Amino acid sequence: MRKIYIFDTTLRDGEQSPGVNLNTQEKVEIALQLEKLGVDRIEAGFPAASPGDLAAVNAVARAVKRATIIGLSRSREQDIDAVREALQGAEDPCIHLFLATSPIHRKHKLRMEKEQVLETAEKAIRYAKRYFDKIEFSPEDAGRTEIDFLCEVTAMAIRAGATVVNIPDTVGYLTPVEFGGIFKTLKSEVPGIEKIQLSAHCHDDLGMATANALAAVLNGADQIEGTINGIGERAGNTSLEEVVMALETRAEYFGAKTSLKLTEIAKTSRLVSKLTGMVVPGNKAIVGANAFAHESGIHQDGMLKEKTTYEIISPETIGLRESKLVLGKHSGRHAFREKLIDLGYELDEESVNAAFAKFKDLADKKKNVSDEDIRAMLEEKLVDTPEVFSLETIHVVYGNRSVPSATVTIRTPDGGSKEQSAEGNGSVDAIYNAIDMATGETVELEDYSIKSVSQGKDALGEVHVVLKQNDVSAQGRGLSTDILEASARAYTDALNRLIEKRKSPGRRDKLSLI
Ligand code: KIV
Ligand code: ZN
Q: What is the Cα–Cα distance from 199 to 213, expressed in whole angstroms?
A: 9
Same domain, 400 and 362: no
How many domains in the chain? 3
- Spacing, Cα 144 to ligand 1 middle (Å): 13
Instruction: Report pLDDT for 327.
Output: 87
- Domain contains 514: no
The backbone region for 38, taken as left when phi is positive above 0, alpha when psi lies in -120 to 50, beta otherwise, is: left
**pLDDT tens over the chain, length 514 residues:** 999 999 999 999 999 887 788 889 999 999 999 999 999 999 999 999 999 999 999 999 999 999 999 999 999 999 999 999 999 999 999 999 999 999 999 999 999 999 999 999 999 999 999 999 999 999 999 999 999 999 999 999 999 999 999 999 999 999 999 999 999 999 999 999 999 999 999 999 999 999 999 999 999 999 999 999 999 989 999 999 999 999 999 999 999 999 999 999 999 999 999 898 888 998 999 999 888 876 667 767 776 778 788 889 999 999 987 766 778 888 899 989 988 888 878 888 998 998 999 899 888 888 778 888 888 888 776 555 678 999 999 999 999 999 999 999 999 999 999 999 999 999 999 999 999 999 999 999 999 999 888 778 888 999 999 999 988 888 888 999 999 999 999 999 999 988 988 876 554 544 445 4
Instruction: Report pLDDT for 511.
Output: 44
State whether residue 437 is helix, strand or coil: helix
Number of H helices, E strands in the chain: 17, 18
Instruction: Report pLDDT for 509.
Output: 45
Burial category of 141 from C-beta neighbours within 10 Å (exposed 0-12, middle 13-18, buried 19 and up): buried
Most informative mutation of 43, 201, 231, 234 for ligand 1 (most atoms within 8 A of CB)? 201
- Domain contains 382: no
- Domain contains 68: yes
- Domain contains 512: no
Query: How large is the angle between the packed helices 371-379 and 333-342, nearest 10 degrees?
Result: 90
Instruction: Report pLDDT for 504.
Output: 64
Closest ligand by atom to 137 CA: 1
- Spacing, Cα 170 to ligand 1 middle (Å): 6
Residue ranges around ligand 1 (CB below 6 Å): 13, 98, 138, 140, 168, 170, 201, 203
Same domain, 353 and 460: no
Instruction: Report pLDDT for 398.
Output: 97
- Spacing, Cα 310 to ligand 2 middle (Å): 35
Instruction: Report pLDDT for 512.
Output: 47
State how beta strands 5-8 and 41-45 pair: parallel
Same domain, 19 and 159: yes
- Domain contains 472: yes
Nearest CA to ligand 1 atom 2: 170
Same domain, 302 and 237: no
Same domain, 46 and 140: yes
Residue type, 328: G
Residues 44/56, Cβ–Cβ less than 8 Å: yes
Same domain, 331 and 246: no
Instruction: Report pLDDT for 434.
Output: 98
Annotated binding residues: 13, 201, 203, 237
Residues 89/59, Cβ–Cβ less than 8 Å: no
CB atoms within 10 A of CB 333: 12
- Domain contains 140: yes
Q: What is the Cα–Cα distance from 373 to 323, expressed in whole angstroms?
A: 13
Closest ligand by atom to 96 CA: 1
Instruction: Report pLDDT for 191.
Output: 97
- Spacing, Cα 7 to ligand 2 middle (Å): 12
Same domain, 353 and 318: yes
- Domain contains 381: no
Same domain, 355 and 403: no
What sign does the dihedral 48-52-58-61 (CA atoms) show? negative
Q: List the strands of the sheet with 472-480, edge to edge.
A: 444-452, 461-469, 472-480
State whether residue 304 is helix, strand or coil: helix
Q: Report the run of H or E that residue 451 belongs to, with start and end.
A: strand 444-452
Instruction: Tell me the C-alpha to C-alpha distance, in Å, between residue 208 and each of 6, 202, 253, 313, 503.
Output: 18, 8, 19, 21, 42
Nearest CA to ligand 1 atom 1: 170
The backbone region for 232, taken as left when phi is positive above 0, alpha when psi lies in -120 to 50, beta otherwise, is: left
Structural domain harbouring 412? 390-503
- Spacing, Cα 44 to ligand 2 middle (Å): 14
Nearest CA to ligand 1 atom 5: 140
Q: What is the Cα–Cα distance from 235 to 229, expressed in whole angstroms?
A: 11
Residues 28/246, Cβ–Cβ less than 8 Å: no
- Index of the ligand 1 atom closest to the CA of residue 140: 3
- Domain contains 284: no
Last residue of a domain, one of 276, 311, 337: 276
Q: State the pTM of this model.
A: 0.87
Annotated binding residues for Mn(2+): 13, 201, 203, 237
- Spacing, Cα 400 to ligand 1 middle (Å): 50
- Index of the ligand 1 atom closest to the CA of residue 171: 1
- Spacing, Cα 308 to ligand 2 middle (Å): 36
Instruction: Report pLDDT for 384.
Output: 59
Same domain, 307 and 433: no
Closest ligand by atom to 238 CA: 2
Instruction: Tell me the C-alpha to C-alpha distance, in Å, between residue 47 and each of 23, 64, 101, 136.
Output: 14, 17, 23, 16
Q: Report the run of H or E that residue 136 belongs to, with start and end.
A: strand 135-140
Instruction: Report pLDDT for 310.
Output: 81
Most informative mutation of 11, 96, 98, 205 for ligand 1 (most atoms within 8 A of CB)? 98
Most informative mutation of 43, 70, 140, 166 for ligand 1 (most atoms within 8 A of CB)? 140
Last residue of a domain, one of 367, 401, 430: 367
Same domain, 436 and 343: no
Nearest CA to ligand 1 atom 8: 13
Q: Which residues pair with 99 in a beta bridge?
A: 139
Q: What is the Cα–Cα distance from 467 to 223, expressed in whole angstroms?
A: 37
Same domain, 361 and 425: no
Same domain, 211 and 320: no
CATH number, domain with residue 486: 3.30.160.270
- Spacing, Cα 505 to ligand 1 middle (Å): 26
Residues 240/226, Cβ–Cβ less than 8 Å: yes
